[in-house]
Structure 1
Amino acid sequence: MKYPYAVCLVFLLLFAYFAPVPATRELNLSAHTRSSTRVVDSVTTKRLLRAHSSGKEEGTEQEEQRGISINVPSLEKISKIFTSSKTTELKGKLMADEALDSAFETLKLSNMRISSHDFVETKMVAKLLSSRNFKVWSQHAVKINKEDPYGAMLTTLTNVFGEKNVAIMILVGKLSRNSRDVAKKLEKAQFYKWYVVDKYKTADEVFTNVLNADRNTIHGYAREKAIWGDYFKYIMDTVMKY
């Protein structure tokens, strides 16, 4: 009987020794699970916060873009209203039948210089020809001289600045985008005057009589040579046309 009793005692001791192990493992597993859960929850929370923050930033950016798209047309509208108001004010200074020479003075265009130290400046010319005052003046020219407004404008400009300076003014006016169109129209009127009215049938005549330059040293006059070349082309086109 002692032998089975000893076996049972050993069995009980072994059971008591090994029984806590699963409980410990379960406890550790539970702790590890809770820790992992906290990590996952933390990562998830951070991702949600980032997504929310990103969404707010995108929303703010979209709102700002919408604000810009709304404000830009408003600014353009205000600018147009202001421009229209200034143009109306300038037109109001002119009498309906006021002569072009007088209108040039009324709009203070004669105060705008085109040269510095007797040299016609491209920027000054572009500023004059693209100014609001000049545009109002050219509209007035069309109103009172429908048949040849640019010919009439050319006459006034010649009276104010002189024929040679006007020729150079037209040449350099074509170099600027803002004044190119009106300069080309004035050039057409000028070449017509030289060919039809003044009877300058050669470019050499213009070079000598209008530009006051020596034909024998033409290469020493860059601007005058360019005008000479443009007028020569005009003559050739006119002759070929007729």
Structure 2
Amino acid sequence: MIDLFIIKVGGNVIDNPVLLQDFLQQFAAIPGKKILIHGGGKIATRIGDQLGIVSNYVDGRRITDAATIDLVTMVYGGLVNKQLVAQLQAAGCNAIGLTGADANIIPAVKRPVKEIDYGFVGDVRAAELHTAPLKALLEAGTTPVFAPLTHDGKGQLLNTNADTIASSLAIALSDSYQVRLIYCFEKKGVLRDPADDEAVINLINPAIYQQLLAEKVLTDGILPKLDNAFSAINNGVKEVLIGHAKDVLNNTTTQVAGTLIC
């Protein structure tokens, strides 16, 4: 029996007020223990433009220089996180906003410079997560809501991939709970044909995954989610599901929509 849902909601949902409102209402209605991890969406880019902070990307990944880490801290850890918490409170969910620095829950290391210098981007130190504060919040009936920020233990905040944070938390908490990790975004699941929203692959196991890779039917955007999903499954997480944000409440039941990873 699943007794903890760890749910990551993507930036494209954050950017869509109608979809986000529906998602938050459904999330609030999920019974029992749950954790939400959110992406940043395009809000940081929009506010950065207003402040004269240019957004730079390499292969779709944000370069986080000194000005940008200040920007994403304000936007992700402040504006977006607290808006989500306030909306969840209005929906009857007793949420608390957090970053990885709070209670030293998610230590990370600044990504080493190789071909590309990503700046103040963090790689989670998965073996060093501190779950006791999270368990205390969960057992008290509080719902943690994480912004995609970690810290290096030396006073520096780090911009960190929200999918990875979700997977890392799921793995770390799987020794205490039966965890279902759910990735919610704007698609119905992993699609065999990116142009066909109905071409959902309902089940992916390691053999099917290798076959899909060989057939080159998976888009680059879904590959990191699948890598994080299999990392979670291989490290104690009971189930991982990738699906549409509008199906989140349904996907905490046995009648799931989307793609189940096992």
Normalised by the length of structure 2, the TM-score is 0.28
Bigger fraction of residues in helix:
1
- Which is greater in Rg? 1
- Structure possessing the higher relative contact order (Cα contacts under 8 Å, 6 or more residues apart): 2
